[in-house]
């Protein structure tokens, strides 16, 4: 309507002034309800053509959409494992900080596993002390075996010396017995030394490795125990959190509730523009929005991201061939709008619906010294008609509460 009124001021009004003052025709006489088309046909035709052209120009270069939402993502409250609830630390609609405990599952099994790992570490420490005592005993056994070996060796050497001086004094059988005894004492010494080395290896390699394994089992048991306590990953508000002690929570089937992050839906607006605007929508475009949840307010925005795919064209592989006709109506171009100034989205509830305009800016193109005259004029017209769309948005911001409360029946 605004475009029609504007175009009529440039077409129908001059045509009427020419008829009235140039040709002397008057309303009610020569210009009647039945002759208005014939008398003002040039102005009416030019008005219609100019109105259609203006509307096309405005809505193409300065696109508008009502599909704007403060989209936000919720976080499902789920434990890492299924279990029965033992304690609940928060209530419904309660605000929590990041890291705050929400609820705890029954951890008796995990407590037992941790206690078992701790006892295993204590057992290994006791084995270390026992091995150290055995190592001291091994030193004594080595000295005892070496003493016995030295005694047998001395006795053997004495007998051999006597036999060397007088073969009839010592029997050959006696020499052989003493040799066997000395060899046996030598084997006892080697066994004692081997036993010491075994104890040393046990102290330096086996028991430390066993203790490291026990510590790893303790750490794993502690991790499993920590999983029983579910904490808030981010600050936010709990919704649909009706968990009570004794309830069974399963991460695959039954979440405990929903956590709405504190900044959810307060960072950007997501708008869906028509596919015909694909060549126009660019990152950095200035935009404006008005939301139902924040009436009579124009929010200055900026385009920060333009999705390069259309969501309606996606498909998942199945055992059936995709019929393109089933994809339905053409989808929209998803555009992310962020506030031009901090705090602009305060007061807009997450999930609220809005109306948005995006404006094409040709300032850089107009600053080019090599631009042609017709193009310079066209770009000036494109930038100038943005005022019309901005005025329409402000009219919508004024009428939106009336349409919602009065005509919408709310």
* Residue 268 scores a pLDDT above 70: yes
What are phi and psi for residue 183, nearest 5 degrees?
A: -65, -40
The larger pLDDT score, comparing residue 123 to residue 6, is at: 123
CA-to-CA dists, residue 175 to 168, 183, 186, 187, angstroms: 12, 12, 16, 18
Architecture of domain 62-72+265-313+328-410 in CATH?
Answer: Beta Barrel (2.40)
Residue range 54-81: average pLDDT? 85
Which CB contacts under 8 angstroms, 24+ apart, belong to 392-400? 392/2, 392/64, 392/357, 393/64, 393/288, 393/290, 393/298, 393/355, 393/357, 394/298, 395/2, 396/290, 396/355, 397/290, 397/295, 397/296, 397/297, 397/298, 397/355, 398/296, 400/290, 400/292, 400/295, 400/355
Q: What is the structure's pLDDT at 316?
A: 76
pLDDT score, position 300: 92
Q: Band of the pLDDT at 12, cuts 50, 70, 90? A: low
Fold of 77-106+229-260: OB fold (Dihydrolipoamide Acetyltransferase, E2P) (2.40.50)
Q: Residue 358 has what pLDDT?
A: 92
* Residue 90 tokens, joined: 């928060």
Mean pLDDT over residues 267-295, rounded? 88
Mean pLDDT over residues 285-310, rounded?
89
- Provide the pLDDT confidence category of residue 336 given band limits of 50, 70 and 90: very high
Name the residue ranges covered by the structural domains of the chain.
1-58, 62-72+265-313+328-410, 77-106+229-260, 108-218
- The confidence band for 237, taking pLDDT boundaries of 50, 70 and 90, is confident
pLDDT of residue 130: 82
Coil, strand or helix at 297: strand
Per-chain mean pLDDT for the chain: 81
pLDDT tens for residues 361-409? 888 888 888 888 888 888 888 888 888 888 888 888 888 888 777 766 5
The C-alpha atoms of residue 353 and residue 70 are separated, in whole angstroms, by 7
Q: How confident is the model at residue 323 (pLDDT cuts 50, 70, 90)?
A: confident
Given this model, what pLDDT does residue 156 score?
67
Q: Which residues pair with 301 in a beta bridge?
A: 287, 339
pLDDT at 145 over 80: no
pLDDT higher than threshold 60 for residue 189 = yes
Q: Mean pLDDT across the stretch 54-58? A: 81
165-184 confidence digits (pLDDT tens): 666 666 667 667 767 777 77
In angstroms, the CA 228 to CA 350 distance is 32
CA proximity to 155, closest of 176, 131, 182: 182
Instruction: State pLDDT tens for residues 84-99.
Output: 888 888 887 888 888 8
The dihedrals phi and psi of 23, each to the nearest 5 degrees, come to -105, -5
Say if residue 3's pLDDT is above 70. no
Lowest mean pLDDT across 68-72, 85-89, 193-197, 361-365: 193-197
Which sign does the torsion angle of CA 388, 394, 396, 398 carry? negative
Query: Is residue 208 scored above 80 in pLDDT?
Result: yes
């Amino acid at each position: 309507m605004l475009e029609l009124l504007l175009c009529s001021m440039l077409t129908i009004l001059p045509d009427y002034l020419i008829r009235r003052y140039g040709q002397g025709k008057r309303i009610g006489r020569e210009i009647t309800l039945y002759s208005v088309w014939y008398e003002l046909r040039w102005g009416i035709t030019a008005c219609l053509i100019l109105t259609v052209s203006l509307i096309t120009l405005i809505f193409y270069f300065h696109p508008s959409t009502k599909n704007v939402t403060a989209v936000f993502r919720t976080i499902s409250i789920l434990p890492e494992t299924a279990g029965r609830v033992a304690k609940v630390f928060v209530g419904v609609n309660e605000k929590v900080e990041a890291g705050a405990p929400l609820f705890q599952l029954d951890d008796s099994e995990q407590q037992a596993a941790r206690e078992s790992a701790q006892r295993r570490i204590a057992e290994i420490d006791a084995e270390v002390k026992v091995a150290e005592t055995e190592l001291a005993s091994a030193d004594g056994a080595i000295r005892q075996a070496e003493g016995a070996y030295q005694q047998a060796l001395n006795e053997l050497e004495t007998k051999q010396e006597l036999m060397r001086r007088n073969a009839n004094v010592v029997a050959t059988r006696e020499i052989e017995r003493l040799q066997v005894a000395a060899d046996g004492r030598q084997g006892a010494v080697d066994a004692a030394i081997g036993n010491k080395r075994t104890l040393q290896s046990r102290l330096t390699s086996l028991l430390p490795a066993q203790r490291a394994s026990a510590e790893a089992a303790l750490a794993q048991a502690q991790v499993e125990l920590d999983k029983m306590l579910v904490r808030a990953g981010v600050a936010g508000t709990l919704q649909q959190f009706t968990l009570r002690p004794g309830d069974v929570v399963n991460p695959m089937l039954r979440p405990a509730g929903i956590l709405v992050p504190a900044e959810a839906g307060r960072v950007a607006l997501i708008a869906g523009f028509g596919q015909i605007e694909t060549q126009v929508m660019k990152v950095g475009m200035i935009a404006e929005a008005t939301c139902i949840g924040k009436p009579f307010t124009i929010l200055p925005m900026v385009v920060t991201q333009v999705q390069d795919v259309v969501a309606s064209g996606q498909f998942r592989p199945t055992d059936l061939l995709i019929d393109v006709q089933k994809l339905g109506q053409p989808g929209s171009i998803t555009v992310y709008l962020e506030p031009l100034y901090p705090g602009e989205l305060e007061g807009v509830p997450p999930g609220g619906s809005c109306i948005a305009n995006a404006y094409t800016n040709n300032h850089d193109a107009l600053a080019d010294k090599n631009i042609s005259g017709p193009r310079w004029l066209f770009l000036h017209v494109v930038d100038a008609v943005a005022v019309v769309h901005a005025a329409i948005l402000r009219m919508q911001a004024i009428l939106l509460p009336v349409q919602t409360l009065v005509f919408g029946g709310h």
